[in-house]
Amino acid sequence: MSATPLDIYKPKALYYEDADSLEYVRVDVPSVYRRIDEFLTLILDLETREPIGFKIKGFKNFYLRTIRPNSRNAEAPFLRLITVVESLMTELGAGIFSETPRRDAYKTAADIASEDQVILSDLPKAA
């Protein structure tokens, strides 16, 4: 039996307006969410506990306050998620680097965003 178009998972960054959160999951497998702090949650494969994605809470506020004013092209139709994670790390500053598990979690999210070249394409609706 061959796969139908509905069986093929295509990873995509999604913005959930009601929760004001941005989420990216690279594979469609059972997962568990591990809250890192008030902004970042890592998404882990349920069986292997390997990171497969991340969730950023308070995205719209952060975007409007921090990323959009510093963007060279505020009207761009997409946003690279590595930019979001790096900007969040910069804003959190020394506090993030003083705690090894927290620092490692942000680095993991940044690595996923960079490796997968994740973009948020529904940005105009998000912010």
> What pTM did the predictor assign?
0.84
- Interval 66-81: pLDDT, tens: 887 776 655 555 788 8
For tokens 């004013």, the residue is 69
- Interval 3-35: pLDDT, tens: 556 678 889 999 998 899 999 999 999 999 999
